[in-house]
Structure 1
């Protein structure tokens, strides 16, 4: 019976996990993509709210330090202060029409005549068998 070392088993497991992880995921539906975009916007807004609250708490701590420490220097204006991000508001981007999205082929000019000698009017009126 063949014996495997612990490191070779771990390497085998890691290789199989990488193989499974490299599988392609299907393209999300438009509804799922819109939902993901809204979740990303909400997450970004939550980060701004967190930064705002952190700024306020730092201002409170600095004010308390200046008030309780006699040797503290007066406050100097470094930035614009804390800016409130406001309530969450998400406006989904407008869907582009097919023409604006580049879905059609680019216009081109004919550089050579058609490859048949029969006029197009004759082929259009000819009965199909």
Structure 2
């Protein structure tokens, strides 16, 4: 499913969900060509769409992100969870912290550099 629609602009997939995005209603609906591309691809891959599961909205909160006409950004609740998390004191708590931050890493400048030393702490027998 992840690769099914990657070459069609304004599309995202997660598990069995397809998300179609656009900054305006016109760009969302796109051309007839884009709509046909999506439907043909779904059929090509042997998937089915159910009308009752199709939802149209101006903004959505989905898997920790908010998508709307302004783009995609992390849900503020996730940012608060990271900010309010106690400092990791052992490997399990460090893994929890890194899991939370990895989902938002594209929005956190410098996170890639900060992960290096943190990854080292995950090594077996590494002193804290």
Larger Rg: 1
- TM-score with structure 1 length normalisation? 0.18
Which structure's relative contact order is higher, taking Cα pairs within 8 Å and 6+ residues apart? Answer: 1
Greater share of strand residues, 1 or 2?
2
- TM-score with structure 2 length normalisation? 0.18
